[in-house]
Structure 1
Amino acid sequence: MKKKRLLLFILTCLFFVNGMKDINAQTSTSFIEIKGKILDDASNDALIFADIIIKDTNISTITNSDGEFALKIPDSLAAKSVTFSHLGYQKKEMKISELNTNTKIKLLPAITELNIVEIKTFKDAETLLRETLKNRSNAYNNDNALMTAFYRETIKKRRKNASLSEAVVQIHKQPYSNFKNDAIELIKSRKSTDYTRLDTLAVKLQGGPFSNLYTDIIKYPEYIFTDEAIALYEFRFGESTQINNKPVYVINFNQKPGIIEPLYYGKLYIDSETLALTNAVFRLNVENKELSSEMYIRKKPRKVDVYPTEATYRVNYRTQNGKWHYAYSNILLTFKVNWKGKLFNSVYTLNSEMAITDWRINNPKLVKNKENMLKPTTILADETSGFKDPAFWGEYNIIEPEKSIEAAIEKIKKQLKRT
């Protein structure tokens, strides 16, 4: 079966060193910044990928892997409220005036059992998935939308950061009712790379923000759930849950026994009222090293064997004015790199995430800046030449960096001072 793939990777040699700039960000005085951490009320565990949204607006962000967030709010919205939500938890709302730069928000788990009769509305889980894919014109935004998004990608060699790239982009999002591809416009970007940690080998993410955009299963079902591909999976109902205090179907899926080709497995979360996909978490089956390697590696040095050991994807959707839209995606990939003749191998982890931080209905005749439009084959790292215009980043919502990334940035700054 010939299928499109979510990601392609290129391995290539590097022969240059990047000059890096200072990265101190300046926050505009016309903005209020709130910071905090979202926790499980009972266990105090950090809640990852929780949504933080200014009520009655399209301004939002998401928690990082430590459950932390930062949200910049225009002064004109100071009287508004902020909602905090997470899959499987009750939504919480607080006034902006109640929040500060070290707020801890605790969410209560939501216990919901869908009525057996409701589940029997669908013959089986596969039927529900097919109805969800057919329902995209009704449940999802059917207007042209101009989305502001923050994108970050990191490369680690074992546990140490080797490359950090960030960008603010604008997504020219096509209506879900048509089959036109979305476009991405690069607004600003910055990066730092420690090439000594990459040895002479760099793993480059081809596509950058497009890779994350293509995880939008509803807009791009051809990357995972074509009519041909659906027949190769087994689908079954899982234990139901809640999102935004509404019941959600859970579908577990896995490739059928006897299928040799690497396929995906995971969970789909479908709103029981609108039949919209609200979240999806899935992995690639990488048991077959040779076939899974062919999916990602297009070019590499002859003396190197490269294969993935992990490939995890997540996509979240949000609802506004009764319509759902793409909100966030995260891709985590781990590769083993074996040089022939060398005793030890190298392990590279690549993580990319993109979050919609604001959006508006767009005039379809709006002229795009063609010079800044990215191609699906664009490698973001090649588009960025260092940390620039630090004041610019102060006015944009970004995903709060993990502690490990913050530590890497601080180390880079110290190295700059010494040199």
Structure 2
Amino acid sequence: MNLFAKSLFKGIRLVPTLLILLVWMLCPTDSMAFQAVQVEDNAFNQYKGEIRDASSKKPLVFATLSVEGTNISTITNTEGNFLLKIPKEMTDGTIVVSFLGYKSKNISLADLKPSKNKITLVVSVTELSEVNINAPKDAAALVRETLARKGDNYFDDPTLMTAFYRETIKKRRKNVSLSEAVVNIYKSPYSSLRKDAVELYRARKSTDYSKLDTVALKLQGGPFNTLYVDIMKYPEYIFAEGSIQDYQFTFSRSTRINDKLIYVIKFNQWESIKEPLYQGELFIDVENRTLTSAIYTLNITDKYRAARLFVRKKPAKVDVWPTEVAYRVDYREKGGKWYYGYSNVLLEFKVDWEDKLFNSVYSMTAEMAVTDWEKNVDGQLPKVRERLKKSIILSDEAVGFSDPDFWGEYNIIEPEKSIESAIKKIQRQLRRARSKGGSAAP
């Protein structure tokens, strides 16, 4: 069984199981000591709450809360809930709450309660008069046109990207495993069917499997979990060949993002389709017919199918049920061409022991952001033995690629800090490594 499980039931089309959960009985030899010192929770004040649409009251998945002027931030989970940790010495400040296609809201830190904060955001709507009268009236046709134009609107040259990748496993709100890596992505043109190659440059981890009691959980796939969320490069993993007809596409609204007129297209599988497909929103640039972002979730109504898609190995007396699976991808523009810039995958699930009264709730998050890129003029690829396999478990591989000198002062994994904060530090370290004659990273 590979990273993308093929049909497990007759008639099921290819559905990407971007996260495969590994569940093993924990043996003493499996326990891993901390490789980085984590900041204790008692150094922070915690604020919990939820973010919802002001009109529909639906939860906003991947909404962002950040402390203005700092690198502290967090995102909401699949139920719109958040946990924001702020150092105790910070007694005042402004919390900026934002979500794609919505008006941002500023909240004073003093107005936040320790729990049960309820925040609503209002949709940012562009007046119809601003919309091109010649714009397509058929949402499905617009999606097809956008996918068909990927060779024109996205990078058409082999590209060498540097990216920062982070994955987290939590038991409820407690960190169990943290892994980070700098990777080189040998990205083939968007018009090419050739898959991208990935090379591990540096990695590190912080794990504490004792918090998992008798079960150890590991995430298989590493950076591929996020890389394959690039819809424009890998449309087959969400809109498999011929499956667009299984979705209903509708125009939701028009908005402006970064001064660009954007159509928001909602999609959902038809009620007659029983297979586990997707629902969500596509953000399409009106003028250029380019996908700029997408946020969507997997239909896991049938928990038996969902479990078989995600669970690779588990003890016989344990049931594992995914409760939510969500994805996000953002693209950036450079010189009139668009390219993959950021993606996030979130899986929440329950572990239910046959002989225990209560179950456990876990979450697994993987996110990756491109920090730099350049044209891969010769189209060279790393040697086969140097390429990451799609079956990689980063927390196992990190030992061989750890480098305390590379991380330097940034020697503590800081999950409470935004990935953008980590990227700035990583870029400094990469420049320093290059100046010392380091190789591999562009």
TM-score range, shorter chain: 0.7 to 0.9
CA contact (8 A) 1:20 1:387 kept: no
Q: CA deviation at 1:183?
A: 0.7
Q: CA deviation at 1:205?
A: 1.4
Residue 317 of structure 1 corresponds to which residue in structure 2? Answer: 331
Give the alignment partner of residue 16 of structure 2, picking from 1, 5, 15.
5
CA deviations over 1:61-87 (Å, ceiling 9, x no partner): 99753999xxxxxxxxxxxxxxxx984
One-letter amino acid of the structure 1 residue matched with residue 139 of structure 2: A
Q: CA deviation at 1:219?
A: 0.3
Q: CA deviation at 1:13?
A: 2.5
Separation (CA, whole Å) in 2 of partners of 1:296 and 1:119: 45
CA spacing shift, 1:404–1:132, aligned 2, 3 Å:
closer
Residue 359 of structure 2 corresponds to which residue in structure 1? Answer: 345
Separation (CA, whole Å) in 2 of partners of 1:387 and 1:179: 30
Separation (CA, whole Å) in 2 of partners of 1:161 and 1:14: 17
Residue 364 of structure 1 corresponds to which residue in structure 2? Answer: 378
CA contact (8 A) 2:164 2:183 kept: yes
Q: What secondary structure is seen at the aligned counterpart in 2 of 1:231?
A: helix
Q: CA deviation at 1:47?
A: 7.2
Separation (CA, whole Å) in 2 of partners of 1:228 and 1:62: 43
Is residue 402 of structure 1 aligned with residue 416 of structure 2?
yes
Is residue 241 of structure 1 aligned with residue 252 of structure 2?
no
Is residue 260 of structure 1 aligned with residue 271 of structure 2?
no
CA spacing shift, 1:250–1:399, aligned 2, 3 Å:
farther
Separation (CA, whole Å) in 2 of partners of 1:150 and 1:376: 17
CA spacing shift, 1:282–1:365, aligned 2, 3 Å:
closer
Separation (CA, whole Å) in 1 of partners of 2:381 and 2:281: 39
Is residue 330 of structure 1 aligned with residue 344 of structure 2?
yes
Where relative contact order (Cα < 8 A, 6+ residues apart) is larger, the structure is 1
Q: 1:78-93 to 2 correspondence within 5 Å?
A: 87-88=100-101
CA contact (8 A) 1:23 1:388 kept: no
Residue 276 of structure 1 corresponds to which residue in structure 2? Answer: 290
Separation (CA, whole Å) in 2 of partners of 1:369 and 1:62: 39
Residue 48 of structure 1 corresponds to which residue in structure 2? Answer: 64
Is residue 377 of structure 1 aligned with residue 391 of structure 2?
yes
Q: 1:11-410 to 2 correspondence within 5 Å?
A: 11-15=23-27, 16-22=30-36, 48=64, 64-65=74-75, 87-88=100-101, 112-115=126-129, 118=132, 121-366=135-380, 368-385=382-399, 388-393=402-407, 401-402=415-416
Give the TM-score of the pair, scaled to structure 2.
0.70
Q: What secondary structure is seen at the aligned counterpart in 1 of 2:132?
A: helix
One-letter amino acid of the structure 2 residue matched with residue 304 of structure 1: V
Structure 1, gaps ≥5 residues long: 25-45, 51-60, 69-84, 91-108, 406-419
Separation (CA, whole Å) in 2 of partners of 1:266 and 1:174: 27
Residue 112 of structure 2 corresponds to which residue in structure 1? Answer: none
One-letter amino acid of the structure 1 residue matched with residue 195 of structure 2: N
Identity percentage of aligned residues: 53
CA contact (8 A) 2:36 2:206 kept: no
Structure 2, gaps ≥5 residues long: 1-11, 39-61, 76-82, 86-97, 104-122, 420-442
One-letter amino acid of the structure 2 residue matched with residue 322 of structure 1: G
CA deviations over 1:317-357 (Å, ceiling 9, x no partner): 00000000000001111111111111111111001100001
CA spacing shift, 1:117–1:354, aligned 2, 3 Å:
closer
Separation (CA, whole Å) in 2 of partners of 1:149 and 1:399: 17
Separation (CA, whole Å) in 2 of partners of 1:343 and 1:287: 24
Aligned positions, number: 341
CA deviations over 1:356-409 (Å, ceiling 9, x no partner): 01111112343525443201111111112399433413599x99732699xxxx
Q: CA deviation at 1:223?
A: 0.5
One-letter amino acid of the structure 1 residue matched with residue 22 of structure 2: I
CA deviations over 1:230-261 (Å, ceiling 9, x no partner): 11111100111122201011100111112221
